[in-house]
Amino acid sequence: MSEKDTSTSIELLTFQLAEQEYSLDIMSVREIRGWTKTTPLPHAPSYMKGVINLRGTVLPVMDLSERLGLKPQKQTDRNVIIVVNHDDVMTGLLVDAVSDIIALTDDDLQPPPEMQASNAPNVVSALTVIDERMIRVLDLSSIVTSVQGQAA
Amino acid sequence: MSDPNDPMAEIRASFFIECEELLEALQDGLQALDDGDDDPETINIVFRAVHSIKGGAGAFGLEALVRFAHRFETVLDEVRSGRMSPDTTARKIFFQCADHLSDLVRISRDDGPLPDDVTAELLSSLNGLLGDAGIEEDDDSEEENIDFQPATLSLDLDLGGDDDDDGMGLPALEPDTSSDDGKFIIYFKPDNDLFETGNEPFHMLRALEDLGTCTVTCHLDELPDLDTLAPENSYLAWTIELETEAQEAEIAASFEFVEGLCTLDIKKKATADDIQQPDEETATNDASTEDTADETPDVPPAVEPESDQQPSGEDRSAPEPAMTSADSTPPAPKATAAPARQSSPTAAKSVVRVDLDRIERLVNLVGELVINQAMLAQSLERSGLSPHSDAMNGLEEFQRLTRDIQDSVMMIRAQPVKSLFQRMSRIVREASAAVGKDVRLHTEGESTEVDKTVIERLADPLTHMIRNAVDHGLENSEDRVAAGKPEQGQVNLTAAHRSGRVVIEVSDDGGGINRPKVMQIAIDKGLIPADASLSDGEIDNLLFLPGFSTAAVVSDLSGRGVGMDVVRTSIQALGGRISISSTPGEGTTFSISLPLTLAVLDGMVVQVAEETLVLPLNVVIETLTLTDNDVEMVRPGAHVVRVRSGFVPLFDLGKELGYRDPVQNYDGSVVLLIAHEDGSHAALIIDSIQDQRQVVIKGLDDSFYRAPGIAAATILGDGQIALILDTSDIITNAIGATGMATPQTTSGATA
């Protein structure tokens, strides 16, 4: 559907977190919802905002800024919850605002430079530049699953 | 079979589902026999189950299954006819055979490699039971003498038919029938019903061809003109001249699955008489027979109910064969073949098989309905309508209906634990044989109903516990005799409903937990400090620690040390709890307590620190409003409430959940008095009670965070989510935090 079919094309949903731009593969995004009050879970890590009712199912919501170690953001009415599906598990990610959907090819993505301690989960899987802005492509699985070890 | 478009695959699948039921009936019957039930009907049930499996297996060409089932059946027939009495040895072999039969069914289903050596071994045991007669008998699996009719009919046949049976089952009478190798003339005319049940004449004709040389003539006389032809009717008939060495009964067996659904006449050419015998009885007592002319052609009743059990998928294929045959070409092989359609032996009531997904969907929808109803109720209340208005009355009715619907839906999912228990009896047999102990499994409460998902997920932990009981729990027979106990060990498996939960207990009458030894092992393995002083209960709980194994000799049966902690994890994953109690010299009891259903709960809705929470109503025994005088301090941070019956530890729910700082002033606080099935009590401080209502349990996805003290969640009338508390967990955690009830250092023994 695009001329850039020479390599696999990928569509990314970009959004803002603490004035930075991040993105997720749009195939893992199920829907985007406005902010609603969450029911907090006792003794949960601070990035676990709690659970919300998503049409009859219980959806856990985490604050993505806090999850990534950014400073928690003030709640505004532009806050949205991106509902993502990873391995058939639905999770809500609270972000500051959703910006755009961009289409890229694999060639446009660069691997992030090695700079983290090797044992830290690599949450940013790639980087790309759009209109002179750097956009971080997040690796959903490390965001959603690596918590398991910490909680157990 | 992997091809999803293969019409056979579906029928095949339903055959295996049926096999499961039959195997269950088989186990049941054998168990009854073992318990001393000498009702002739019991052995009949056993016999019919094996027979039906064999019949079905034949239709799918599952040779190994047929062969084994046939021999098993032959032996059972001996018992049935009273020529052999099932003594202990025989019963043991029967059990082994039943187990093996179910293995074979499973292997056939998965197309796995066949355990031929086991089969051979068991076949020779069976032959041993039969004595000389059995060994001579040939293996021809299609030999058929007994019919799988509903119970009453079968009994009738027994009374009159014993002698006939011999002709088939035993070689003694064989000369009667084997003297001829001749020509048979078979007249075969399918009824309309034959096609409706998915049978296919082509396969029968082909089966005949296997027996010998066939000359088939198709009769088209009845075929109407095309414009008057009803595609679903059967107009064709065949005459088959068959030159074969096979017995008449073998020929009849080819038509076994369509008896009652066709007009069938098998005549020996030489002695052909002109009697047209309707077939439905041929397979039953034609064994040694000369055609009995007095059979009346009353076709449908005996077999009719069977067709009701057809999976609906077959129906659409029914008209097809009729159409093709109307073209006077041989029926196309693409049509479905004859599935083994037998009504399950005990099936007096009609049963519908439903895909679990559909039920799941229904359950979810009903859940939505309940939530919606709660929302409606809330908004009506807010609108300020008079409680006696029509709308409010209607709402009440609506509420009642919703509840009824919900109960009925839950009943669909509920299943008796019987199937699970039967699997366990096999585990006991195998485990006891492996360790050379004589063990008897005693089960109780088999009819206790539990949610299907729970049953499925219980199998593994229960298997492990049973093996443990046999291997570690029970002493070997010398020790038992020395301790003055009967030589045969006993393992009990019981299920019961208790205070809104299902309690399943596995107990043995063995030596009990050797606590000093357990302690020593835990210390050796560094699980507890060497100077730890633990209560008996705490020592018992050491068994649940990861990496603990008590068996001095690690057998291949259990004792790899991955056991009980895995069991506990899987039980907890089901929302259940496991506890252990043991008396030295008398045995050990593991008790699993599980939620009845994973779907609904009678709950008490309370408010704590701005949050709405739900407690299971069945744990709340009393609500109180405290005054200062009621509360006593045991030591700083640990308080008790004085209730009539004594002192009850007091916890602040808001604090335990981390929602707020502890309440300082208890005067006027509302507390809930909680009692658990283990007899423990506690008082929980809450802010206010809002409601008592049925709530729909929504699973909390705990894949990345499991909140302590929270069992699940529910959706309230306003669309908000409320958490459902696991009070027992909360209190355990609270005790762990304050050390209130455990003055000793526990060092993670209960963690």
Of residues B506 and B241, which shows the higher confidence score? B506
Tell me the backbone φ, ψ of residue B415, rounded to 5 degrees. Answer: -135, 145
- Which alpha helices (H) appear in B469-541, and where do they start and end? 477-482, 515-524, 536-541
A151 CA to chain B: closest CA distance, Å? Answer: 6
When divided into structural domains, chain B yields a total of 5
Tens digit of pLDDT for each residue in B109-147? 787 777 777 778 888 877 777 765 444 444 443 444 444
**CA dihedral (B533, B538, B541, B546) positive or negative:** negative
Tell me the backbone φ, ψ of residue B328, rounded to 5 degrees. Answer: 60, 25
Examine the domain organization and report whether B574 and B672 are in the same domain.
Answer: no
Tens digit of pLDDT for each residue in B214-245? 778 777 777 777 777 777 777 778 888 877 77
Laid out side by side, the sheet with A57-63 consists of: A29-34, A80-86, A89-95, A57-63, A48-54
Q: Is residue A140 part of a domain?
A: yes
Amino acid B494: pLDDT? 92
- d(CA A127, CA A137) in angstroms, rounded, equals 6
CB-based contact B705 A48, cutoff 8 Å: yes
State mean pLDDT over B537-547. 77
**Prediction pTM value:** 0.48
Q: Is residue B619 part of a domain?
A: yes
Q: Is the pLDDT of residue B311 over 80?
A: no
How many angstroms separate the first and last alpha carbons of chain B?
Answer: 48
Examine the domain organization and report whether B121 and B90 are in the same domain.
Answer: yes
Burial of B103 (C-beta count, 10 Å sphere; 0-12/13-18/19+): middle
In contact, B100 and B116? CB cutoff 8 Å: no
CB-nearest partner of A58 from B700, B705, B719: B700
Contacts of A57 in chain B (CB under 8 A): 698
Q: Which of B555, B570, B595 is the last residue of a domain?
A: B595
In contact, A32 and A77? CB cutoff 8 Å: no
State mean pLDDT over B490-505. 84
Tens digit of pLDDT for each residue in B247-283? 777 777 777 667 667 777 777 765 444 444 444 444 4
Tell me the backbone φ, ψ of residue B616, rounded to 5 degrees. Answer: -60, 130
Examine the domain organization and report whether B650 and B697 are in the same domain.
Answer: yes
Tens digit of pLDDT for each residue in A56-82? 778 889 888 888 888 777 777 778 999
**CA dihedral (B481, B482, B484, B489) positive or negative:** negative
Tens digit of pLDDT for each residue in B581-620? 888 888 889 998 887 665 667 789 998 888 889 988 878 8
Q: SS3 of B250, please?
A: helix
| CATH number of the domain that residue A136 is part of | 2.40.50.180
Q: Which residues form the domain of A106?
A: 9-147
Nearest-CA residue of chain B relative to A151?
B705
B635 CA to chain A: closest CA distance, Å? Answer: 25
Q: Is residue A22 part of a domain?
A: yes
Contacts of B723 in chain A (CB under 8 A): 39, 41-42, 51
A interface toward B at CB cutoff 8 Å?
Answer: 37, 39-45, 48, 51-53, 56-58, 60, 89-91, 144-145, 147-148, 151
CB-based contact A39 B720, cutoff 8 Å: yes
Contacts of A63 in chain B (CB under 8 A): none
B interface toward A at CB cutoff 8 Å?
Answer: 364, 367-368, 371, 611-612, 656-659, 698-701, 703-710, 713, 715, 719-723
Q: Is residue A2 part of a domain?
A: no
Examine the domain organization and report whether B478 and B554 are in the same domain.
Answer: yes
Examine the domain organization and report whether B730 and B617 are in the same domain.
Answer: yes
Q: In 3D, which of B631, B600, B628, B574 has the Cα closest to residue B693? A: B600
- d(CA B666, CA B640) in angstroms, rounded, equals 11
CB-based contact A147 B704, cutoff 8 Å: yes
Contacts of A60 in chain B (CB under 8 A): 700-701, 704-705
Quick one: angle between helices B356-382 and B390-413, nearest 10?
A: 160
CB-based contact A58 B719, cutoff 8 Å: no
Q: Is residue B116 part of a domain?
A: yes
Examine the domain organization and report whether B588 and B637 are in the same domain.
Answer: no
Amino acid B178: pLDDT? 41
Q: Which helix (H) or strand (E) holds B73?
A: helix B63-80
- d(CA A39, CA B698) in angstroms, rounded, equals 14
Q: Which residues of chain A have pLDDT under 70?
A: 1-7, 115-121, 145-152
CB-based contact A44 B707, cutoff 8 Å: yes
Contacts of B658 in chain A (CB under 8 A): 42-43
Amino acid A121: pLDDT? 61
B361 pLDDT tier (thresholds 50, 70, 90): confident
Nearest-CA residue of chain A relative to B657?
A42
Tokens of B263: 């007009």
Amino acid B517: pLDDT? 83
Q: Which of B90, B119, B141 is the last residue of a domain?
A: B141
Examine the domain organization and report whether B299 and B373 are in the same domain.
Answer: no
Contacts of A33 in chain B (CB under 8 A): none
Amino acid B549: pLDDT? 60
B677 CA to chain A: closest CA distance, Å? Answer: 25
State mean pLDDT over B695-710. 73
Q: Which helix (H) or strand (E) holds B195?
A: helix B192-196
When divided into structural domains, chain A yields a total of 1
Q: Which helix (H) or strand (E) holds B651?
A: strand B646-652
CB-based contact A44 B710, cutoff 8 Å: no
Q: Is residue A33 part of a domain?
A: yes
Tens digit of pLDDT for each residue in B50-69? 888 887 787 777 888 888 88
Q: Is the pLDDT of residue B284 over 70?
A: no
Q: Which of B124, B141, B158 is the last residue of a domain?
A: B141
Contacts of B605 in chain A (CB under 8 A): none
- d(CA B320, CA B331) in angstroms, rounded, equals 9
Q: Is residue B749 part of a domain?
A: no
**Residue B490: HSE in the Cβ half-sphere, 13 Å Cα cutoff:** 10
**Residue B382: HSE in the Cβ half-sphere, 13 Å Cα cutoff:** 8
Name the CA radius of gyration of chain A, rounded: 16
Laid out side by side, the sheet with A20-25 consists of: A97-105, A9-17, A20-25, A133-138, A124-130
| CB-based contacts of B667, cutoff 8 Å, min separation 6 | B626, B627, B628
Q: In 3D, which of B184, B411, B384, B157 has the Cα closest to residue B287? A: B157
CB-based contact B657 A42, cutoff 8 Å: yes
CB-nearest partner of B705 from A37, A56, A147: A147
- d(CA A63, CA A67) in angstroms, rounded, equals 6
Of residues B509 and B411, which shows the higher confidence score? B509
Q: Which helix (H) or strand (E) holds B607?
A: strand B600-608
Bridge-based pairing state of the strands A48-54 and B212-219 = unpaired
List the single best residue of B703, B706, B710, B726 to mutate versus A (max A Cβ within 10 A). B703
Q: Is residue B380 part of a domain?
A: yes
Least confident of B193-207, B335-349, B380-394: B335-349
Tell me the backbone φ, ψ of residue B566, rounded to 5 degrees. Answer: -65, -40
Neighbours of B554 (CB within 10 A): 12
- d(CA B285, CA B292) in angstroms, rounded, equals 9
CB-based contact B705 A45, cutoff 8 Å: yes
CB-nearest partner of B705 from A53, A90, A151: A151
Q: Is the pLDDT of residue B647 over 80?
A: yes
Amino acid B381: pLDDT? 81
Examine the domain organization and report whether B453 and B580 are in the same domain.
Answer: yes
Q: Is residue A4 part of a domain?
A: no
Q: Which residues form the domain of B694?
A: 600-738
Tokens of B635: 């030591």
CB-based contact B701 A89, cutoff 8 Å: yes
State mean pLDDT over B506-522. 84
- d(CA B438, CA B475) in angstroms, rounded, equals 10
CB-nearest partner of A53 from B699, B703, B719: B719
CB-based contact B698 A57, cutoff 8 Å: yes
CB-based contact A51 B659, cutoff 8 Å: no
Q: Is residue A3 part of a domain?
A: no
Burial B288-299 (b: 16+ CB within 10 A, else e): bbebeeebeeeb
Q: Is the pLDDT of residue B642 over 80?
A: yes
Strand (E) positions, B104-255? 183-190, 212-219, 237-244
B184 pLDDT tier (thresholds 50, 70, 90): confident
Of residues B428 and B538, which shows the higher confidence score? B428
Amino acid B535: pLDDT? 80
Examine the domain organization and report whether B217 and B247 are in the same domain.
Answer: yes
| CATH number of the domain that residue B49 is part of | 1.20.120.160
CB-based contact A91 B704, cutoff 8 Å: yes
Examine the domain organization and report whether B584 and B618 are in the same domain.
Answer: no
B616 CA to chain A: closest CA distance, Å? Answer: 18
**CA distance to B294, B420, B460, per residue, from B592 (Å):** 61, 14, 13
DSSP state of A70: P
B569 CA to chain A: closest CA distance, Å? Answer: 13
CB-based contact B367 A45, cutoff 8 Å: no
B411 pLDDT tier (thresholds 50, 70, 90): confident
Q: Is residue A1 part of a domain?
A: no
- d(CA B522, CA B747) in angstroms, rounded, equals 12
Examine the domain organization and report whether B541 and B557 are in the same domain.
Answer: yes
Q: SS3 of A94, please?
A: strand
Contacts of A144 in chain B (CB under 8 A): 704
Amino acid A82: pLDDT? 93
Examine the domain organization and report whether B580 and B444 are in the same domain.
Answer: yes
